[in-house]
Structure formats: structure tokens, C-alpha cells
Structure 1
């Protein structure tokens, strides 16, 4: 038996806009005709209603925040909801601008019945900050008609569904306004009276639009749905209620995006190493930031700390009105087993510490240190990636100081030579470029790395630790 569920989100754009100050201001979305088409609970509590004019709404609520309707943004939010619900239900189709079709008949066995599916779906929807209403039926159009009435009906009982459909006003159907007017002139105001009429009689008096809709509503005609496919990675956009000029205030909306990322990573049992944060600025270019984690992370709190450390080093050139967070590559989580006899470690691992330093100081400011198989002191050490394991070099290279001076300085004190000389020639074997290196100790007890030129001039090139 076919079973479909329709999810209706009546205030999708309104619910997707976040208030950085978390003050829960009254908010409404207006269309091109300056009519209110969406509002939040704070606006409704002050008497604002749908389809109300701006003058009346402003008189009822003096601090009402108005947002123009943006269909592309709402479609993107609807698509992101479908992607988040994909882990619960496999067959999901978009019904823009504010609805989703879910086919349930092939999911009930997985959840051991409708009750198990309901629990899993409601748990997933509870994590989303959107108002929603739902209804189920044997056909997609019947489920949509009931969901638009906000019945919240989820059942496999066809009798309950048919009873609710017969009571449905025509205004909740997808019939064009001119057809509804014609039917109302004939005294037909509900689906029950319409479905009671003969299809042949309706086809004779009305065009094929009415017959096609009723056929798809009953399930007599095929209703094609285009089901989505899971998108790789993560991408979410968040509109701000008002512009922000302070980097510190961005933590609240950014935390909301990171919570959504954590939920997706937990569902996939994965983690990511790199995030891209885009700040959309008013009358200015978009600012892009790349935030990395050497160890890989899925927790929102840890990603927020890395983002905050990097944002502290930058200033906003213009107010920010929107944020977008992207993660293109996920990696499976690896189970970590600690050695029972290993010494107790701190709360922050070595890789996490590297990530924190890179976020605060920059990626180029944090590196490791390794010895190279080069006889020249300027080339004897390298700066590999942090915590990269390198093979130790034995022999004369170990007799090098831990600290090499940026520029050799003239020797201006008495030293006691301990070992040497070791002749190095940076420029071939030319006599003028040769250097004879010694290890000496000055009066303060410091061990110095010295060299003498062919002109008998002495310089300090490094210090031993």
C-alpha cells in the first residue's frame, strides 16, 4: 500500500534568519505587494497576522522587523532540510517553496512500523529551528492537502484520511482560483462534495485541469516526483537579522551553523579537516577564511574555538549580513585506543594544539624542525609540517648548535677553543670563501660555534643549548 507524508514549513525564510543578539524580536517576511506572508511567534503574539498590510502590522507592533521575501534563499533552505532528513527517509522530493514529499511505504520495514518511523523523523525535525506541519495519505496530493490544514495526521488508516479529505475546503487544494470560483458558484465548497460528483460530468462541464487534479488526488493518475540525491560535503547559508560590524558578535550565528555541521558529521560517523567560512559584507567584497584542524574534528565547540582564534586576527571592512559555512571532504572517524600503561595525557592532543596555534598565529608560523643531509649550516635544517616524523642523522651533523644566528656576528670576546677546525666552503672550493669552524666556550660558560675566514677574521655563527 502506497503511503506518502507531506511536510509543510509555513515560515521557512523567517525561521532561517537568526538574531545575533538572541533577543527574539518580532519578525515578518513581506512579498512584492507589501503583504505579510511569514511571521514568527513574537510577531503573532502582538496581533500580527498573515496577509495583513504593513500599516496595520506597524500599528500593532512598533518594533516589527520586516524582511523582503527571497525565493532563492528559501529554496536553498528547503534543499538543506531535505539533505538533513535524508538519513531518516530515503525518498524525498522538493515541493517549492515550502514543502517536502516523503514516500514512507519502503521505510516502514526498516523502522519496524509507522511508530518507529515517526519517532526517528520527529527526533530529526526537533534539531531544526523551523516550524512545520505534516499529514500522510495514500497519494502525494492528498497528503499535501491535509498538511496545509495543519492537521498533523500520520496514520495508515485510509478511513481517517478519507474523512479528513472530504471535510477539506477547496482553498487547500491546488485547483486554480478560476476553477474554485466556478465550483463555489455551483455550491461546491469542499472536496467531499466535489469527489461525490461523476468524473464524466466534471469532464463535460470543466476543462481537463480539474479532472487531472482529481485523478492524481485519488491515485488514478500517476504523479511523478523527482527525488533528491545526497550531496557530498556540507554547505549552509545563514541570513542575519541585522548587520554586524564586530567579529566577536559573529560567534552566536556561527555556532548555529557549526551545530548543523556536527549533526551531519555524527550521522555519517565522520569528521573533517578543513572548513571554509564566507562572510557576506554590505557593499563590499565577500571575505573568505579557511580554518583547518590537523587532527580532524566533528565537535561544534572545538570548531568554534578554531574559528574565533582566526577571526580575532582580522577586522571587518564592512558590516556582515550573511554567513556561509562549507566543508567539501569528510573522513571516516577512526577508533582511538589509548595505551593502558602510557602516561596520562592532557585534555588537548598534540594535533589539536597545532591546530590552535595555526588558527591563532597562521599556518606558516607553525612548523616542525628537522636535520637535512647538507654540510652547509644555512641548509642543514628544514621546517617540515608539524609533528612530522623524520629519521635522525648521525655523525658530524649532530655537532651543530641548536640556535643558528640569522647573520654571523664578529667575535668580540675571549674564548677557549674546545674542538675544530672543520672546513666548510659555501662557494665551491675557492680559498676566499672557505670557513674553518670551531667549538669554543666564552667566559660566561656559553658554548659557541665559531668560524675563521681566510682573512683570519673570527665570527660567531651559532650557540649550543
Structure 2
């Protein structure tokens, strides 16, 4: 027998908004539709006596401090899809039922979890992590599970008789029948689904339109109900609208943690990591701002990515308060564990690539570079800036290594005339003119001044002395 589970999230948009703000449970908040009726309520608003479908005038009289938010169907659909992606690791067949429902087919998962009870235990633990309020019930068909879930039946069973009895006892107000049709049924003395299903289909077809028969057929499972199951995302994209605008860039790290934790769960589930995040900040009157945060080594943990994001956010000047965040990752990579020495006495707290990522996040990518040797005898061209941690040209042979040992750590951009007394300790090393790089002969020496500093000097053919660098 086919078995379905319906999850209904009655306050999905509001619950998602409250994830981005601390201490928001103390505020009475409601989401209103275009008819200015209360559509979603948080617990504080419910405690104040507010009811769904209540008008704004009555709501303001009961709760003068009520905070109102407009209903956004597109935003709620994104949150619903995000919830489906997070539940996908536990259930392979999940279909969206907008605006606030998920349909899960269970008969293919019971063998994997060795029964319905272990499956529900794992799924309910994941739903607790999502922190969204939800109503649920099993059913033999998607429509039956949805009808029972809207009544908060909370039936987790595959007993066909029990599910059928609960469905037949359901009031018509829990169905998807239109309000005029429910009133017409009430005038006929029909108040439950059992009474309606007991009527002959021919009589129903004669008195009512085909939509009623179609709904009852799908409710019983007489007609095939095609479901479009969601597929796992190849990347990661999450949007989080803030409950209130944030003007301090450092405070943005708090709601960002929620998105990074969702990213970590998806990366961990796929045994992957990522090397780059795209963080988008949304403003009301200014164009959106995109920040590219990279990790040279690749990370999957939320704590590591949060540290890199905070380094960029703390020096960021916002043109105006931020009302929304979006986190995107286009490409995943397989996790690679760094190898460590078996007999190493000390273990480094971070790898070289992790240190590089922190420096780039704090100073910017252009400010961090490496230094590689070039096959040039002229000192000004013997080294150049390169990508960090990239091995460059290495001079081979003992003579080449000896020559490298005589090069200073600090080379002046332009040689300066020698203006103090020095004591020569080593040299000379002659560089002859080549006609296109070095115009005159130079004899290089290593000397020490009276302050104890080691200088790299050269003398020209005209006996003029210059300082070209300093040894560390």
C-alpha cells in the first residue's frame, strides 16, 4: 500500500524571519495578506488573543504593539524549497505543495529505516533543527494526508483502517472544497467526509460539477495523482530576509550563521567542500552589494567560513541598512584531508593555506602574494611577485646556492649613495655590463656599519660606492 506524509508549515515566512533576529519571540508579530487579514502569527501574538483571519482593527485593539509584515509568496516559496532540500537527506521522494506544504512518499523509505517509527524519529529530529512550526499526518493518498494534517491529526501509522476511519470523520472544513460548496453540503445535512463519500457517484455527478468528483477520486486514490519530486541541488543558494534592517556590518554575522550552518549540512551530506562563497547584501534604495569570500584550502565547516566572512564584514562600510542576505556556492569539491608528519613533535594550529585565506580575507587578495626566483643575474630582476605558496624557479648547483646566500632580504628600489663608514667582510662579486640591462660594471660586497647593520654594497668602475640592500 502507498503511504504518504504531509507536512504543513502554517507560519513559514514568519518563522523563517524570526531565525534572523534574537529575542524576537518577545514581540507580537503578524503577517498580513492583501485583504489586511492576519495570515500568520507568532506565539506572542497568539498569547495576546489574536486569531487568524482577524482584521487589523480588531487586532490593533487587542494588541497595540503588534508588528505587521506583508505576506510575500515568492519568499515563502524559496523557504519551502529550502526546507525540502534540507529534508532530502532523509527522504528521497519529496514534492512541493505551495504555499506551505510538503508531500513525502514513505513506502519506499520504510525498508531503509526498518519501519515507520525509526523513520519518523529521524525526520522529526531534522524538523526540530529547522525550527519551523508544522502540522503533520500520514495518509493513503496525498490529498488524504493533507486533509488530516490540516486537522492536526498527527497520525504516524500505516494502518489502513485507522487512516480510513480518521479520514471519514474529517469535517468538510478540513478539505479543499470551496466555501460555497461546503455551505451547500451543510444545507443537505452533510458535514463530514464519510457522509459525502457514502453518496453514490452518479448522484454527485448529476447535482455537482466535475471538480467535486475529481477531488473525491484523488482523495480515495481512484485517480492517479502525479507528483513532481524535488531534485538535490548541484550547488547552494539560500536567501534570508531579516526581521529588521541592520546597519552595522559586524552584526550581519549573526544571521549569516544560519545560512552557513545550512551550507555545512549540505556539504557534509555530500562529503564535499567549497573554495568560494558569494555573499549578497540587499538594500532598499541602493544596488545590492556582492562580496566574494575565498578559501585557498577549501572548507566545509560553518565556523571556518564565518571567521573568513567576519574579516571582510568588519571593515565594510554599508551605504544603508541591510534587509536581506543571500549566500551562493556554484561549485562543490571533494573533501581532502591534509596529511601530517607521523613523527612530528608539534602540530600546527592551522595549515599554510588556512593562514593564506585569513590574510586574503583581512587584507584583500591583491595585498598577499608570494616571491619566486628568476633566472636573471641582475639583482633587480632576480625575483618577482607571484601567486602565494607557488614554488618558483630554483637555482641548481652549489655555486647557485652560494650566490643566493649572498642576496639580502631587503632590496632598495633604487641604489643609494654610501654616506657612512663600513667594514667590508666579503666580496667582491662582479657583475659585468651586458648592454641592455646593466650599463656599467658593478663589484658587490657585504659590509657592516658602526650600528651593526649588514649592508649589500657595490662599487662602480669610477670608484663610486652605493647601498643596494640590507640583510635581515
* TM-score, normalisation: structure 2: 0.93
Counterpart CA distance in 1 for 2:190 and 2:151 is 18
Q: Structure 2 matches for 1:166-177, cutoff 5 A?
A: 166-177=168-179
Q: Structure 2 matches for 1:322-401, cutoff 5 A?
A: 322-336=324-338, 338-390=340-392, 392-394=394-396, 395=400, 396-401=403-408
**Aligned residue number for residue 245 of structure 2:** 243
Counterpart CA distance in 2 for 1:341 and 1:229 is 46
**Aligned residue number for residue 447 of structure 2:** 441
Asked whether 1:428 is paired with 2:436, we answer yes
**Aligned residue number for residue 30 of structure 2:** 28
Counterpart CA distance in 1 for 2:273 and 2:28 is 37
Does structure 2 retain, via aligned residues, the 8 Å contact 1:58–1:64? Answer: yes
Alignment deviations for residues 152-203 of structure 1 (CA, whole Å, 9 cap, x no partner) = 1111001111111111111221223332232222121211110010111111
Secondary structure in structure 2 of the residue aligned to 1:369: strand
Distance 1:283 1:415, change over 3 A: same
**Superposition deviation, residue 274 in structure 1:** 1.1
Distance 1:424 1:306, change over 3 A: farther
Secondary structure in structure 2 of the residue aligned to 1:17: helix
**Aligned residue number for residue 211 of structure 1:** 213
Does structure 2 retain, via aligned residues, the 8 Å contact 1:93–1:102? Answer: yes
Does structure 2 retain, via aligned residues, the 8 Å contact 1:375–1:424? Answer: no
**Aligned residue number for residue 463 of structure 1:** 470
**Superposition deviation, residue 40 in structure 1:** 1.1
**Superposition deviation, residue 415 in structure 1:** 3.2
Secondary structure in structure 1 of the residue aligned to 2:148: helix
Counterpart CA distance in 2 for 1:274 and 1:92 is 29
Q: Structure 2 matches for 1:126-137, cutoff 5 A?
A: 126-137=128-139
Number of aligned residues: 463
**Aligned residue number for residue 413 of structure 1:** 420
**Aligned residue number for residue 75 of structure 1:** 77
**Aligned residue number for residue 17 of structure 1:** 17
Does structure 2 retain, via aligned residues, the 8 Å contact 1:437–1:449? Answer: no
- Unaligned 5+ segments in structure 1 are none
* TM-score, normalisation: structure 1: 0.94
Counterpart CA distance in 1 for 2:162 and 2:23 is 42
Does structure 2 retain, via aligned residues, the 8 Å contact 1:282–1:321? Answer: yes
Secondary structure in structure 1 of the residue aligned to 2:111: coil
Candidates 161, 184, 187, aligned match of 2:186: 184
Say which is worse superposed, 147-156 or 382-391, in terms of deviation: 382-391
Counterpart CA distance in 1 for 2:230 and 2:435 is 66
Does structure 1 retain, via aligned residues, the 8 Å contact 2:236–2:330? Answer: yes
Counterpart CA distance in 2 for 1:107 and 1:21 is 37
Counterpart CA distance in 1 for 2:238 and 2:434 is 55
Does structure 1 retain, via aligned residues, the 8 Å contact 2:38–2:54? Answer: yes
Alignment deviations for residues 48-103 of structure 1 (CA, whole Å, 9 cap, x no partner) = 21111112222222322211000000011111111111111111111101001111
Counterpart CA distance in 2 for 1:336 and 1:255 is 26
Secondary structure in structure 2 of the residue aligned to 1:383: strand
Asked whether 1:4 is paired with 2:10, we answer no
**Superposition deviation, residue 120 in structure 1:** 1.8
Say which is worse superposed, 81-90 or 12-21, in terms of deviation: 12-21
Does structure 2 retain, via aligned residues, the 8 Å contact 1:413–1:442? Answer: no
Does structure 2 retain, via aligned residues, the 8 Å contact 1:376–1:426? Answer: no
- Unaligned 5+ segments in structure 2 are none
Alignment deviations for residues 230-276 of structure 1 (CA, whole Å, 9 cap, x no partner) = 11121111111111111122121111111111222222222222111
**Aligned residue number for residue 105 of structure 1:** 107
Alignment deviations for residues 284-325 of structure 1 (CA, whole Å, 9 cap, x no partner) = 111111111222222222211111111112111111001111
Counterpart CA distance in 2 for 1:288 and 1:402 is 39
Secondary structure in structure 2 of the residue aligned to 1:127: helix
Does structure 2 retain, via aligned residues, the 8 Å contact 1:375–1:397? Answer: no
**Aligned residue number for residue 144 of structure 2:** 142
**Superposition deviation, residue 354 in structure 1:** 1.8
